[in-house]
Amino acid sequence: MPIEDPRYAPDSSYAWFRLALALLVGMIACVGSWSAVVVVTAVQQEFGVLRADASLPYTFAMIGFGVGNIVMGRLVDRFGIALPIVLGALLLGAGYALASVSATLWQFALAHGFLIGLGAATGFSPLIADLSHWFRRYRGLAVVFGASGSYLAGVFWPQLINWGVETHGLRTTHLWLGIASLVVMLPLAPLFRRRPNAATFAAAEAISAGARGSLGLTPNQLQLLLVVAGFCCCVAMSMPQVHIVAYCSDLGYGVARGAEMLTVMMALGIVSRISSGFIADKIGGTATLALSSLMQGMALFLYLWFDGLSSLFIVTGIFGLFQGGIVPMYAVVIRDYMPPREAGVRIGVVMSATVFGMAFGGWVSGLIFDATASYRLAFLNGLAWNLINLSIVCWLMFKARPKLAAA
């Protein structure tokens, strides 16, 4: 039987070094999942379209992001993470360059879908899948740290992009985003060439096989349930994340205040993600997912009652603090129960469902606003979708508990 090299074993110092690098790559790559959120009103003005149409670049980016999670996940399983990082950098560079010279909204949206979203996916589930192989005792913590790259992007990029659009314009800002992606990501890719050895995979498979038996579901059955739950969860999550900037503008507080609220949401979301990792390593990914989903619903309910500037900052902070740990928990559940050599594509499929949920939810919220001139029904719509997610996760949690207790 192969023996693990202690220098590169799970939870080693090398694993933590790799995690730090992954966090940086995720923060840069995931600009592609945030830039379209900040520029909704600028796109509306640039192309002279309605709010729902101005949300299309984000929707297309999320579709590309979702497809990219699956495609890049498959590449990670076969070749490791270095190749997807290179491809992601090239796609982001080309996508933002084309977006900067788009003559129509459809060209702008297609650049986001086929290039920017696809490239940005490198910074999410492929990195999570790779990191999950390098940690065993602290897997929950490592996964949420890796997933926090997208939230660091949400903290770092909105203010910078908003400043860029106001100072240099929509098109110039997009060109510089592409250049930044290439300059940072390409030099980091060679540092990810090392892959886990056979002994690491063998030990992980033995653990996950035992966990699958305790749950009583096949990998494909569990994956289907997680796909549905993840989609519903992120339809609910999308209302504040996608429309908070526009919502603040409509309330008369301005786009800058909305960007500040998005930054607060993302900053506290990082705290939530890290905290959920500690909790998951103690009580398990499924229970942590159920708890986080319940608290997300509570935060969405608060939006129905508070829309003053100060109260909206507080509610947005609460939302960020409650929902930040949800999406990474799907990856933790997958790694607890699924075959490790399939981690990239299986995590990619479920993460894609969450992304499609965000895309669909963002678009539907825009439609609801255009039809009612209000976001109140959009918040109620989010609550309904969150309830479906919570029901599935709680069913999984209680299905596994008796068998685990008897083991």
CA quadruple 34, 68, 86, 200: dihedral, nearest 10:
110
DSSP class of residue 115 equals I
Low-confidence ranges of the chain (pLDDT < 50): 1, 402-407
Query: Is 329 part of any domain?
Result: yes
Between CA 307 and CA 295 the distance in angstroms is 19
CA quadruple 389, 395, 396, 401: dihedral, nearest 10:
140
DSSP class of residue 340 equals G
Percentage of the chain exceeding pLDDT 90: 30
Query: Is 258 part of any domain?
Result: yes
* pLDDT at 305 (0 to 100): 86
Between CA 342 and CA 365 the distance in angstroms is 35
Nearest to 239 by CA among 59, 355, 378: 378
* CATH at residue 234: 1.20.1250.20
* pLDDT at 158 (0 to 100): 84
Query: Is 2 part of any domain?
Result: no
Query: Is 1 part of any domain?
Result: no
Q: Tell me how far CA of residue 301 lies from CA of 200, 239, 254, 326, 368, in angstroms.
A: 44, 12, 23, 17, 17
* pLDDT at 168 (0 to 100): 92
Domain range holding 24?
A: 8-406
Q: What is the pLDDT of residues 249-302, one digit of tens each?
A: 888 888 788 888 888 887 888 788 888 888 888 888 888 999 989 988 988 898
Query: Is 3 part of any domain?
Result: no
Number of separate domains in the chain: 1
* pLDDT at 1 (0 to 100): 45
